[in-house]
Structure 1
Amino acid sequence: MKKYYALVSGLVQGVGFRQFTMAEAKSRNLYGWVRNTSDGDVELEVEGPEETVEDFIEAVRNGSPSSQVENVKTTPIDQVEHKNKFDVIL
């Protein structure tokens, strides 16, 4: 299982990016969460099979139709807090 923390910068707030991220994760049966940060970025944690997580991160890098992703910084982590689902945290 692969586990990542990711910080996404660019035009990613107010454009449905969190919902896009959740839909991409759910379509791949991944676990984790996504939320806005106070400085305009979006952060997430994701857990799942290595190839599936890598595919998800690539989708996040490409972004939703209304977003403009400038950078995705990923960091491997030991644990992702989830309840066997992927959530948007408000």
Structure 2
Amino acid sequence: MAEKTGERSGPDGGAGVRLTARVTGMVQAVGFRYWTVRKAAKLGLTGTVRNDDDGSVRLVAEGPQSVVLELRSWLRSPDAPGRVDHVEESISPATGEFTGFDVTY
């Protein structure tokens, strides 16, 4: 149920958050987007992931804060595919604009 502020509520009744991240390192041509979609779907998050021309991967994920932070931790872990050198990120209120988690081009 949407709150008056336009934020999506998480299953725990708390407001949803949006993680916007730029991931650098060896993250293209290693299945990074595929595994990010799988991880996000498993966590019940919505959003998008795409390759950028500079070799980085950009993603937006929305959901309950604790779950979004779990995805953020995964991005920085050895479990993420390829080699992540840096994650530049910001957290903001969720907009609720996504219905699933997809690769965009």
User: Is this a same-fold pair by TM over 0.5?
Assistant: yes
SS in structure 2 of the partner of residue 32 of structure 1: strand
Greater percentage in helix: 1
Mind listing any 5+ residue stretches in structure 1 that lack a counterpart?
A: none
Q: Is the 8 A contact 1:45 1:80 kept in 2?
A: no
Give the TM-score normalised by structure 2: 0.78
Q: CA deviation at 1:76?
A: 2.0
- 1:33 counterpart residue number: 48
Distance verdict in 2 for CA 1:47–1:68, change over 3 Å: same
Q: How far apart are the structure 2 equivalents of 1:42 and 1:55? A: 18
Question: Quick one: which amino acid aligns to residue 87 of structure 1?
Answer: D
TM-score (norm 1): 0.90
CA deviation map 1:38-73 (0-9, x unaligned): 000000001000110000111111222xx0000111
Q: CA deviation at 1:80?
A: 6.0
5+ long unaligned stretches in structure 2: 1-15
The residue identity in structure 1 corresponding to 2:32 is F
Whichever of the two has the greater Rg, that structure is 2
Aligned-residue sequence identity (percent) comes to 36
Mapping for residues 47-86 of structure 1, pairs under 5 Å: 47-62=62-77, 63-64=80-81, 67-78=82-93, 79=95, 81-82=97-98, 84-86=99-101
Q: Select the structure with the greater relative contact order (CA < 8 A; seq sep ≥ 6).
A: 1
Count of residue correspondences = 87
